[in-house]
Amino acid sequence: MSSVKAQQAARTRQRVLLAAAEVFDEVGYEQASVTRIVERAGLTLGALYFHFGSKQGLAEALMNAQPTTIEPHLESTGLQRMVDITLVWADRMERDPILRAGVRLAVEQGSHGMNDATSFEEWRELMRGHLDVARRAGELREGTCPDRLARFLVGACTGLQIYSNLAAGRADLMERVCDMWDLLLPSVASEAVARGVRVDPVRVSSR
Residues of the shown chain interacting with its own copies in the complex, contacts defined by CB under 8 A: 28-30, 104, 107-112, 115-117, 120-121, 148-149, 151-152, 154-167, 176, 179-180, 183-188
**Smaller CB distance to its own copies: residue 51 or 160?**
160
CA distances to 29, 88, 101, 163 from 85, rounded to whole Å, are: 27, 5, 18, 20
CB 101 within 8 A of CB 55: no
Report the C-alpha gap between 134 and 61 in whole angstroms: 30
**Smaller CB distance to its own copies: residue 41 or 150?**
150
**Smaller CB distance to its own copies: residue 8 or 187?**
187
Spatial neighbors of 127 by CB under 8 A, at least 6 apart, are: 82, 85, 149, 150, 153, 154
**Smaller CB distance to its own copies: residue 108 or 132?**
108
Nearest to 135 by CA among 126, 144, 127, 125: 144
- Secondary-structure percent of the chain, ordered helix, strand, coil, rounded to 5: 80, 0, 20
**Smaller CB distance to its own copies: residue 38 or 160?**
160
Residue 161 Cβ, how far from its own copies at the closest point, in Å?
8
Q: 3-state DSSP call for residue 178? A: helix
Element spanning 98, H or E = helix 97-108
Residue 38 Cβ, how far from its own copies at the closest point, in Å?
22
Q: Which amino acid is at 18?
A: L
Residue 206 Cβ, how far from its own copies at the closest point, in Å?
26
**Smaller CB distance to its own copies: residue 12 or 116?**
116
Residue 144 Cβ, how far from its own copies at the closest point, in Å?
8
CB 91 within 8 A of CB 77: no
